[in-house]
Amino acid sequence: MPRKVTSTSTRDRIVEIARELFAEHGYTGTTIADIARGLGTTTAALYYHFDSKAEILDAILAEPMAAYADMAERATHGRLPPEEILGGYVDFVAETRHVLPLVTADPRIHTVLDERLPRRPQEMVDAIVATLAGPRPSRAALIRAHAAFAVVKEATVAALGSDDELSRADRREIVAAALRALRKG
């Protein structure tokens, strides 16, 4: 990874502070002044490091978005068994847990996502669910696929709580519950 020699610590601190504030108050609900206060400086200082508020958001989302696109691609075109698709989503949620609430929380962020991702998030979710449901799924099978997807998405967040890592036992329990939701009988 090419890394600038000059210290990027101030820039990184801005991203970190903005991430927390965005997650708590939303993107629109957080002002540049809020971020500057968290950093201990003024808004003008921020604009030395970033050209706009939206650019800070970009810096926060770039990596998670790439990870999301990767995960979705593997899930839909990797010919993986359901448990690996579901497990992969659990891992993705656990890895990006700090930005996930942000993304779902503010409608204005959808614009950014639509511009940067290969496909729109809703399409990617639909593709994953369709893969889980299998070819020519019945309506009931589609509902079960949505159910399984809901489990890996929400139960992972719940299990993480305020922790940073997910235990193996928790991961197993979540994937097992999702598989039961997916499969009848």
Calpha distance 18→119 (Å, rounded):
26
Taking the complex as a whole, the smallest distance from the CB of residue 151 to a copy of itself amounts, in Å, to: 4
Q: Residue 111: which of a copy of itself, DNA, none does it interact with, CB under 5 to 8 A by kind?
A: none
Contact (Cβ atoms closer than 8 angstroms) between residue 32 and residue 46: yes
Residue closer to DNA, measured from CB, 45 or 62: 45
Give every CB contact of residue 106 below 8 A, 6+ residues apart in sequence.
22, 26, 27, 28, 29
Q: What is the dihedral of CA 1, 110, 77, 62, to 10 degrees?
A: 0
Residues 42-61 binding DNA (CB under 7 A) are 42-45, 47-49, 51-54
Site string for DNA, 6-45 (x = CB under 7 A): xx--x-------------------xxxx------xxxxxx
Q: Residue 74: which of a copy of itself, DNA, none does it interact with, CB under 5 to 8 A by kind?
A: none
| Residue among 118, 102, 128, 104 at smallest CA distance from 30 | 102
Taking the complex as a whole, the smallest distance from the CB of residue 119 to a copy of itself amounts, in Å, to: 18
Stretch that binds DNA, among 5-13, 73-81, 88-96, 173-181 (CB under 7 A): 5-13
**Residues within the interface to DNA (CB under 7 A):** 6-7, 10, 30-33, 40-45, 47-49, 51-54
